[in-house]
Structure 1
Amino acid sequence: MQKTFIGPHLRRLRLERSETQAAMARALGISASYVNLLENNERSVSVAILLRLFDIYGVDWRDIAEEDSTSQLADLRAVMGDPLFTEIRPEIAQIRAAIVHAPAVVQAFLTLYRAYQSVGDQLMSLSQNDIAQTTTSPEAAVHDVFRRNRNHFAALETAAEAFWGSAAVPRDDVYTALKQRLAQKLRVTVRLVRVEDLPGALRQYDEMRREILLSEALDHPNRVFQLVHMLGLLEQRLLIDTLVQKSGIIDPRGTARLRVELANYFAAAILMPYASFLQEARAAKYDFDHLATRFGVSFEQACHRATTMQREGAMGVPFFFLRIDKGGNVSKRFNATDFHLAEYGGACPRLDVHTSFRTPGRIIPQFVEMPDRSQFFVFARTVDRPTWERHSQDNRLAVAMGCAVQHTPEIGYAETFNMAHATITQIGINCRICPRAHCDQRAHHAAILTQPIDAHRRGATRYDG
């Protein structure tokens, strides 16, 4: 005769009644150890015990003895046939053990796999133009490289620490010292030119004439940054090329973009040395206006540098950095957290980085929760871009910095909040992949896990029917 196992059903029955194994054992007239064996499917259930379950708990033995593992086993074996699991396909005994000991986990896994299949089907139905757009962009490839390195490059930090040697340069003499270094060490001259002489650009390096042209539209901190950036490209070419080769990026657009970002990293590491920047950031509780003033950089540069404080044994608060324009497009992103940043399109409209355009120059703080229930403290502020002429005024962008809520005691911008009563805004990555169906800011149907529109109902938006 076929043995009957009721482990998951028996455990669920007991937990629904808030009973211990000992209490259930007394009710059924068996030992607690035997109840434990039954729950773990190490013993089959007898007809006598099934009848007692009916008498004592009013449960139909057909319901509790119903065999539903057969269909789960078939479903799991079909799923494991996917080429995705070729290298890690479990044996049939392991699959059976999972069904017996963790049926809820098995069901969750099957639900997740069906969602994965649904996404694959939708992607396969895209037009060729849409498919072309789903290939990895240079920006996404660079972002992945920084993520794999935890937004920290020890080799560039070491090179930056050795840049000035033993002779410290006063902060107000840095620009002059950089020009002298370029002239004496690399035979490169620097010339400030009028906006009309360098149309559409802020900096241009003429390799033939060995001359760097800087637009007068740049303010002093950005003139300094551009010179250090060029020194990184010229002096650290071998190191940067090595890092680019190790990145695995082969697309010329991606390697060029990565080379620029690594030079930017090097420049920031020179202007904001790791140890002194981290010490000042902690003392000032990450007041980025203060940090920008102290190190002679822009607010955005100070924010960006804070995301790189991930040295082993001397880590700062892990931040993510997001920069958007007034249209909501993400133009720069760096991440040392578990926060998911949008690769395409704009950021979530419920994120207050968009609101910061209404109050230029002011910090906008916010507590947010992602769909996976992870919570973050985010603060945003506008930053000004170089103004070319009267027709290009109000050329602002907005930056947002965020960290996991457990780090808020280290952030001065969060001091005015009572964490026990703080309002938490539910956000997503962006509308196309956000599962929050009832959000009143939704602008697109979600690409996955969507529900059919009910023609008889009008929700908060036209996507919520």
Structure 2
Amino acid sequence: MTLEAAEPIARKLFAGARVRALRTARGLTQTRMASDLGVSVSYLNLIERDQRPLSAAFLLKLAGTYELDLRSLAEGDGSALGDELVKIFTDPRLIGIDVPRADLRELAVRQPGIAQALVRLAAGAPAAAETGITSGPIAQVRGLLEQHGNHFAALDMAAEALADELRLSGGDLNAAVVERLRARHSLGVRVMPVEVMPDMLRRLDLHARQLQLSESLDAASRGFAAAIQLALIELKAEIAEAAAAIIDPLARRAAVVALAKYAAGAVLMPYGRFLAACEATGYDVELLQARFGRGLEQIAHRLTTLGRAGARGVPFFLVRIDRAGTISKRFAPGPSPLPKPGMGSCALWNLHAAFASPGQMQRQLIELEDGHRFLTLARTVRSVAVPWGAGPWGSERPNFAIGIGTQARHAAALVWSSGLDLGGAAVPIGPGCAACHRADCRQRGLPPAAAHLAFDERVRGLTPFRFTED
């Protein structure tokens, strides 16, 4: 029986855009890919145009031929893209345009190119209430990270090779990075008094041949800053290649900064060793901190990058907020409960409650409206400028809360799921009030942006807002 004749899987999977992206990313013509997979060119063309679903046989052949993780395709059935479209239509500027959520999700499945274009346009055209984080260079960098699933294979492997070289000079990677800068690049690393660098944490002084670091940085942050500088020098070509898709000069520089930080994390927490430690400890984030000598935020960042083909880790998301709920960092390579940028997160998520218990890890099982469940951890972290209260007397000491998590179906691999019934009661949360349609939420502060409101002076429900979606 040919693959064309194979029965489609029980839940029809249309993933033409992902198959096409896989083909173009590998520089394959339709003729070559069809030959690799043992199908006709016309059949492959129909799949890429979403006129045929992916059969189980085709999926297995695709995964075996190109060493893919089936989850990358099975999870790519348009649900995540559909959720992004739903978020777009909560924009206050679109009030009065009633598009059922089912229609938006159908569009994501049938016309992923159009759906992706709408998502990209929305990311570059923020509502008046948003703050600019959804436009300009920041949005372009975020788009680059999302496009690559926050994993840059060539850069990560080059960083791992560099880490192997550094380990030859000793087990302390922080010290090895500093020595490499001195011996190979004639750059000394000097810790400067805070009064000398009152408004900077890191500065490269080429005249003095020094990388100058503020004394307000702790040891882990100093090592990370030195690794950033080493990556900018020795992994310059790989960083430039990873950022090549960005044309705007300012956005390109922002991408280089972000990718240098990515590379620094990959040097100090090399992929193979880090993934092995994650699996051996059950992703015990505090134990990973001790083992690699890194801060919680650095560990959390690295957890979101474990997407190497053939050696994938548990898919994590990361978010960082301040006390006002402003999101300053967000990484979500896969499904997540993170809201659209600029919209704020759900107050029922214990990410916000972390500020009431500084330094204590908080665990929570949450459930979205669509039934997706996530196991999350949250804890406060100090700003990198004053990580342990270092700094002049009376200076501002901002702090943030870090949230990380994964889908509940992956949570059995995590040590922090111990004793928790992953199928039991979960806290119902939403992507912020303007995008949430839970009518019975007593925490609701705003009605859904696209809902039909109803007012009745004779009735007072759980919230002041009565609404329907029809």
Task: Work out the CA distance in 2 between the residues paired with 1:373 and 1:428.
Answer: 11
Point out the more displaced range, 387-396 or 440-449.
387-396
Q: Distance in 2 between matches of 1:191 and 1:134?
A: 34
Deviation string for 1:11-60 (max 9, x for gaps)? xxxxxxxxxxxxxxxxxxxxxxxxxxxxxxxxxxxxxxxxxxxxxxxxxx
Distance 1:193 1:340 in 2: 41
Structure 1 match to 2:294 = 297
d(CA) in 2 for partners of 1:167, 1:134: 37
- Deviation per CA, 1:252-278: give whole Å up to 9, x if none: 443232211111111111111111111
Match of 1:42 in 2: none
Q: Would you say the 8 A contact 1:322–1:399 is kept in 2?
A: yes
Q: 1:455 to 1:390 in 2, by over 3 A?
A: farther
Given the alignment of the two structures, is residue 371 of structure 1 paired with residue 369 of structure 2, yes or no?
A: yes
C-alpha distance in structure 2 between counterparts of 1:192 and 1:288, whole Å: 28
CA distance in 2, matches of 1:164, 1:317: 23
Higher relative CO (CA 8 A, sep ≥ 6), structure 1 or 2?
2
Match of residue 3 from structure 2: none
Gapped runs of 5+ residues in structure 2? 1-48, 52-81, 98-124
Q: Find the counterpart in structure 1 of residue 415 from structure 2.
A: 412
CA distance in 2 between partners of 1:222 and 1:254 (Å): 25
Contact 1:337 1:404 in 2 (8 A): no
Match of 1:357 in 2: 355
Which whole-Å CA distance do the structure 2 matches of 1:284 and 1:140 have between them?
Answer: 35
* Aligned: 1:277 with 2:274: yes
In 2: Cα distance, 1:372 partner to 1:234 partner: 46
Deviation at 1:341, TM superposition (A): 2.1
Distance (whole Å) between structure 2 residues aligned to residue 429 and residue 199 of structure 1: 38
Say yes or no: does 1:264 pair with 2:261.
yes
SS of the residue 2:195 aligns to = helix
Q: Is the 8 A contact 2:131 2:342 kept in 1?
A: no
Which residue does the alignment assign to 2:346? 348
Deviations 1:315-355 (A, max 9, x none): 11111011111111111111122114221142211111111
Q: Per-residue CA shift, 1:416-443, capped at 9, x if unaligned?
A: 21234x3211111122222223322223
| 1:119/1:89 CA distance change after superposition, 3 Å | farther
Q: Is this contact kept in 2: 1:322–1:330, CA < 8 A? A: yes
Q: Which residue of 2 aligns with 1:460?
A: 462
Deviation (angstroms), 1:233: 1.6
Q: Which residue in the other structure is 2:7 paired with?
A: none
Q: CA 1:434–1:251 in 2, change beyond 3 Å: closer, same or farther?
A: farther
Are 1:322 and 2:325 counterparts? no
TM-score with structure 1 setting the length: 0.69
* Match of residue 439 from structure 2: 437
* Equivalent of residue 403 in structure 1, options 400, 403, 406: 406
- Alpha carbons of 1:310 and 1:198: their partners in 2 closer, same or farther (altered >3 Å)? same
Structure 1 CA distance for aligned equivalents of residues 336 and 144 of structure 2 = 16
* Partner amino acid, structure 1, of 2:419: T
Q: 1:255 aligned to 248, 252, 257, which one?
A: 252
Amino acid across the alignment from 1:268 = G
**Hey, what's the Cα distance between the residues in 2 that align with 1:315 and 1:399?**
23
SS in 1 for 2:319: strand
TM-score normalised over the length of structure 2 = 0.68
Give 1:356's aligned amino acid. A
1:54-453 → structure 2 map (5 Å cutoff): 121-122=94-95, 136-166=135-165, 168-169=167-168, 173-246=172-245, 249-342=246-339, 343-385=341-383, 386=386, 387=389, 388-392=391-395, 395-420=398-423, 422-453=424-455
Distance between the aligned counterparts of 1:193 and 1:364, measured in 2?
Answer: 36
Structural RMSD (CA): 3.1
Structure 1 segments unaligned to the other structure (5+ residues): 1-87, 91-108
- The amino acid across from 2:179 in the alignment is Q
Cα–Cα, structure 1 residues 208 and 446, in superposed 2: closer, same or farther, change >3 Å?
Answer: farther
Opposite residue 411 of structure 2, the aligned amino acid is: T
